[in-house]
């Protein structure tokens, strides 16, 4: 998938978080959302373009056109509207860019202005607390989305503890986001449905309440399953997220760890759990 990195800044951490949470909302899966998005990391003031508290956001979509539309909408509705914020590009500029500030500038209704600094253009739009500053174009890259694994646990409590430990470990990996709420998925899905036109439906083989009614793959004693789904800027970051996440999830009460393979048709990259653990821990 195509990815973009946004650096959002504000006068304080409170307002950076407010903008970041809003901009990455309703972005868990491209099955039903325009992008998959999340907060990559907190960016200290010493590293931001304007010397203010910041956060790095990653957003993923199927194409550059779809990504541009989503990013413009999300920055326009969630960052521009948030007190004291500014928005900067966080990736190298190449010939594969999306225009963000260049599209949002029209909100200035003719009062907008631009300035070029060190080869980059920035747009300044008047707003009621001063000005909103947004970079003109943002670089994009081809990222890897859909990394996943499932934790099969004896109880809901054990499964959730494993999921929380795994998300905490993955959150430390630069270049990776977990787009679902709290990084955890309770509603794992399979491709297709008995209902016409539905792209995905509940992964009934992993639903404990359907054991005995469907072709269940749950071992005896497993009563809860949680899934982690994560996206990264490259294959290596997703492999490392898989490794640290699986290792962190190995706690008492977890009977098995596996992954959604979808018959190998989910995408071109196949990350095999045993190989990742063997190759990256040797």
* Rounded-to-integer distance, Cα 273 and Cα 253, Å: 20
For residue 177, list its beta bridge partners. Answer: 231
Tell me the chain's radius of gyration from C-alpha atoms.
21
Residue 270 confidence class, pLDDT cut points 50, 70, 90: confident
* Rounded-to-integer distance, Cα 224 and Cα 196, Å: 29
Check residue 1 and report its DSSP letter: -
Contact residues for 51 (Cβ-Cβ < 8 A; gap 6+): 45
Residue 207 confidence class, pLDDT cut points 50, 70, 90: very high
Contact residues for 162 (Cβ-Cβ < 8 A; gap 6+): 151, 153, 226, 248, 249, 250, 251, 253, 254
Mean pLDDT, the chain, as a whole number? 95
Whether residue 282 is predicted with pLDDT greater than 50 in this model: the reply is no
Smallest CA-to-CA distance from 59 within 91, 103, 86, 84 is with 91
Our CA angle for 208, 249, 170, nearest 5°, is 120
- pLDDT digit string (tens) for 114-150? 999 998 999 999 999 999 999 999 999 999 999 999 9
What integer is the mean pLDDT of 163-172?
98
- pLDDT digit string (tens) for 28-72? 999 999 999 999 999 999 999 999 999 999 999 999 999 999 999
Structural domains in the chain plus CATH codes: 2-142 (3.30.70.520), 144-281 (3.30.70.520)
DSSP H helix total and E strand total for the chain: 6, 15
Query: Alpha carbon of 256 to those of 94, 154, 157, 180: distances in Å?
Result: 44, 10, 15, 22
For residue 210, list its beta bridge partners. Answer: none
Residue 197 confidence class, pLDDT cut points 50, 70, 90: confident
Q: What is the DSSP string of 118-132?
A: TTEEEEEEEETTEEE
Contact 55, 43 (CB under 8 A): yes
In the chain, pLDDT over 70 holds for what percent of residues?
Answer: 97
- 3-class secondary-structure state, position 161: helix
Whether residue 280 is predicted with pLDDT greater than 70 in this model: the reply is no
Check residue 270 and report its DSSP letter: -
Residue 191 confidence class, pLDDT cut points 50, 70, 90: confident
* Rounded-to-integer distance, Cα 251 and Cα 11, Å: 41
- pLDDT digit string (tens) for 226-268? 999 999 999 999 999 999 999 999 999 999 999 987 766 667 7
Taking every pair of Cα atoms in the chain, the longest distance, rounded to a whole number of angstroms, is 67
Smallest CA-to-CA distance from 143 within 231, 221, 227, 242 is with 231
* Rounded-to-integer distance, Cα 132 and Cα 111, Å: 12
């Amino acid at each position: 998938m195509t990815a973009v990195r946004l650096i959002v800044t504000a006068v304080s951490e409170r307002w950076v978080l407010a903008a970041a949470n809003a901009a990455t909302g309703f972005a868990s899966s491209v099955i039903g959302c325009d992008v998959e998005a999340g907060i990559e990391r907190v960016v200290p003031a010493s590293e931001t373009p304007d010397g203010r508290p910041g956060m790095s956001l990653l957003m993923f979509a199927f194409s550059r056109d779809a990504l541009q539309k989503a990013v413009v909408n999300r920055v326009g509705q969630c960052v521009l509207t948030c007190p004291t914020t500014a928005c900067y590009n966080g990736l190298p500029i190449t010939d594969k860019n999306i225009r963000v500030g260049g599209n949002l500038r029209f909100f200035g209704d003719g009062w907008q202005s631009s300035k070029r600094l060190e080869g980059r253009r920035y747009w300044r739009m008047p707003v009621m607390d001063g000005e909103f500053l947004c970079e003109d174009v943002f670089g994009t890259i081809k990222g890897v989305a859909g990394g996943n694994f499932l934790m099969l646990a004896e109880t809901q409590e054990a499964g959730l503890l494993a999921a929380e430990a795994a998300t905490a470990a993955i959150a430390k990996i630069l270049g990776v986001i977990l787009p679902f709420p709290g990084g955890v998925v309770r509603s794992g899905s399979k491709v297709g449905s008995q209902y016409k036109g539905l792209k995905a439906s509940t992964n009934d083989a992993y639903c404990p309440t359907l054991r005995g009614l469907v072709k269940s793959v749950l071992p005896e004693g497993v009563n809860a399953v949680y899934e982690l789904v994560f996206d990264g800027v490259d294959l290596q970051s997703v492999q490392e997220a898989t490794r640290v996440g699986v290792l962190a999830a190995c706690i008492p009460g977890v009977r098995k760890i596996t992954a959604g393979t979808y018959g190998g048709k989910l995408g071109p990259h196949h990350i095999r759990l045993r190989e990742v653990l063997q190759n990256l821990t040797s």
